[in-house]
Amino acid sequence: MQHQLVSVIDFGGQYTQLIVRRVREQGCYSEMVPWQQAEAHILDRKPTAVILSGGPRSTLEPDAPTINFDLIKDLPVLGICYGQQLMAKNLGGEVHKSTEREYGKRHLGPRTPGTLVDTLKNDLVWMSHGDKVTHVPPGFIVTTSTESCPVAAMENLSTKKFGVQFHPEVTHTPDGRDLLKAFLFNHAGLKGDWTPQNFIDDTLKSIRETVGNEKVLCAVSGGVDSSVVAALLSESVGSQTTCVFVDHGLLRKGEAEQVHETFTKTFHPNLIVINALEQFFSELKGITEPEQKRKVIGENFVICFERNKAVLESHDFLAQGTLYPDVIESGSSTASKIKTHHNVGGLPDWMKLKVIEPLRWLFKDEVREVGRALGLSSEVVDREPFPGPGLGVRILGEVTPERVKITQEADWIFREELRKSGLNKGIWQSYAALLDVRSVGVMGDERTYEQPIVLRAVTSEDAMTAQAFPFAFEFLEHVANRIVNEVDGVNRVLYDLTSKPPATIEWE
């Protein structure tokens, strides 16, 4: 099925992926494309509408990122922040450096009735810019402003070109979703034809066409991502799939057994379990740098397959549960590289298997919806996200069997208390991390010099931004007391209050 497409042109903005997400929330299919690839993308994909993202650069720079506006002259276009400035500059308006930078919450002035920005019932918006449009292009009107921004929004209804200086995609703009919805349906003519079931139908067809009569290895962990991939493969190519679970010793307590039970009961596929504890711990010995750990873990997954020649040689594809946030954070767009995800950039060049990633452009909540549509149980679909490198990136410093056991036990206590209290239902991700330092304590009238545990629990919609969960002090105190008393090697417990950004959800 050919869906209507909303192309989001990425100029390096930190919120670009959120624009894509907000569009998809309205049931409209959207893809993000770096500005350097925009021309080929537009000519090939023929989008129904285009959104121009924000970005860190200035349109006043001689080599500022831009696109050929002739390609989108007949399309509905929404420019956001840098996108509005670029539209104004290319269509005959003027942009100047602001004497006063706007960053954070701002209040809009009166909004012209019947315009796109009039969709906002709340005048509160989120700004983040240094330049500003001072004169709109011919045919455009100014539809609202702020005290320091004369053109907070502009539009040319006859050509279906709209611009806003603020960011409607972020939650800090309370009615931003309504503005995007009005652009998509009232002005761009979108039908909202993209649903989880449509995604499933398209993906099953794509997998069949890609794989043909060849065979697929599906790396599984028991998490929602790999489980959904396995379910898609089971539906599309069935017996051509072999699920492989590599037990690297870096899972949470009891999860290796849970994975085996889940896959044998739910999918009934060919399931191969590779016990690789000794291999992974040996290869990780002495390694403390996070990126190196990720690379080693990624490479050793493939080495496991190489060492099982019978399995490797009888398959042609490796299926992975890579998600869109993994791609973004690994620097596959114009965004900065934050960290390498082992299933994005950590695989070695010499790997012979061809990789397929059916979920590569989905956000986590979209994957859950697809899982539900496929009939997976809530136990699988609602499982907390867990990093591919496992506890390897939750143990700061060297990863050893002893340090893994400490982390597993502390993590188990934390999550057990969350379940008992019912708090786990409101949390996106929770875990215990082990720091690579020691602190002085006293237990039983004796001095201790042991390791601290950091507890982390966040709320999030899509893992691109996150907030620390506001636990009551009494809950944290209770968990800390249990960990210190029940886990050997720990004498101090901390709680991480940092949001994302500036931190990431994982410590490494």
Helix (H) or strand (E) holding 484: helix 473-486
Q: What sign has the CA pseudo-torsion 43, 46, 49, 51?
A: negative
Q: Which domains does the chain possess?
A: 5-187 (3.40.50.880), 196-381 (3.40.50.620), 400-495 (3.30.300.10)
The C-alpha atoms of residue 13 and residue 168 are separated, in whole angstroms, by 13
Q: Assess whether pLDDT exceeds 50 at residue 189.
A: yes
User: What is the pLDDT, as a whole number, of residue 350?
Assistant: 57
**DSSP designation for 253:** T
Percentage of the chain lying above the pLDDT 90 cut = 62
- Amino acid, res. 184: L
Res 208 pLDDT > 50 = yes
Q: What is the pLDDT of residue 328?
A: 63
Question: Which stretch of 171-180, 189-198, 333-342 has the lowest confidence by average pLDDT?
Answer: 333-342
* pLDDT of res. 120: 95
Are the C-beta atoms of 12 and 334 separated by less than 8 Å? yes
Q: What average pLDDT does range 27-35 have in this prediction?
A: 92
Contact predicate 54/13, CB 8 Å:
yes
- Residues designated catalytic: 81, 167, 169
Tell me the C-alpha distance between 426 and 447, whole Å.
Answer: 39
Task: Please say if the pLDDT value at position 460 is more than 70.
Answer: yes
Band (pLDDT 50/70/90 cuts) for residue 345 is very low
* Lowest mean pLDDT segment, chosen from 136-145, 198-207, 361-370: 361-370
Pairing of strands 29-34, 5-10: parallel
Q: What is the pLDDT of residues 412-450, one digit of tens each?
A: 999 999 999 999 888 999 999 999 999 898 877 678 889
Residue 369, by phi and psi: left (phi above 0), alpha (psi -120 to 50) or beta? Answer: alpha
Q: Give the SS3 label for residue 277.
A: helix
Q: pLDDT for 354-407, tens place per residue?
A: 889 999 888 888 999 999 999 888 878 888 888 888 999 999 999 999 999 999
Residue with tokens 């989905």: 362
How many Cβ atoms from other residues are within 10 Å of residue 440's Cβ? 10
Neighbours of 217 (CB within 10 A): 24
Cα of first residue to Cα of last residue in the chain, in angstroms, is 40
Per-residue tokens: 287? 């390694």
d(CA 247, CA 9): 40
Considering 170-174, 183-187, 219-223, 386-390, the range whose residues carry the highest mean pLDDT is 183-187
> Torsions phi, psi of 178, nearest 5?
-65, -40
Q: Which of 242, 337, 345, 357 is nearest to 299 (CA)?
A: 345
Look up tokens 């003027």; give the residue: 94
d(CA 343, CA 229): 14
Q: For residue 335, name the pLDDT band (cuts at 50, 70, 90).
A: very low
Contact predicate 208/237, CB 8 Å: yes
Instruction: Calculate the average pLDDT of the chain.
Output: 89
Tell me how far apart the alpha carbons of residues 377 and 381 are, in angstroms, rounded to a whole number.
6
Q: Phi and psi of 362, rounded to 5°?
A: -105, 150
**Phi, psi angle pair for 268, to nearest 5°:** 50, 40
- For residue 13, give the nearest of 119, 183, 128 by alpha carbon: 128
What region does 432 belong to: left with phi over 0, alpha with psi -120 to 50, or beta?
beta
The encoded tokens of residue 349 equal 């060049």
pLDDT score recorded for residue 244: 84
Q: Say whether pLDDT at 342 is over 60.
A: no
CA atoms within 13 A on the CB side of 341: 21
Q: In what order do the strands lie in the sheet with 270-275?
A: 270-275, 241-247, 216-219, 317-319, 354-356
> Measuring CA to CA, which residue among 320, 291, 293 is closest to residue 305?
320
Query: Please, which pLDDT band fits residue 502 given cuts at 50, 70 and 90?
Result: confident
Which positions ≥6 away from 338 have C-beta within 8 Å?
A: 329, 330, 331, 504
> How far are the Cα atoms of 139, 291, 383, 439, 463 from residue 427, in angstroms, in the given order?
48, 27, 11, 29, 12
Percent helix, strand and coil across the chain, each to the nearest 5: 35, 25, 40
- Bridge pairing between strands 270-275 and 241-247: parallel
**Per-residue confidence (pLDDT) for residue 349, from 0 to 100:** 58
- pLDDT for 258-268, tens place per residue? 888 777 776 66
What CA–CA distance (Å, rounded) separates 506 from 508?
A: 5
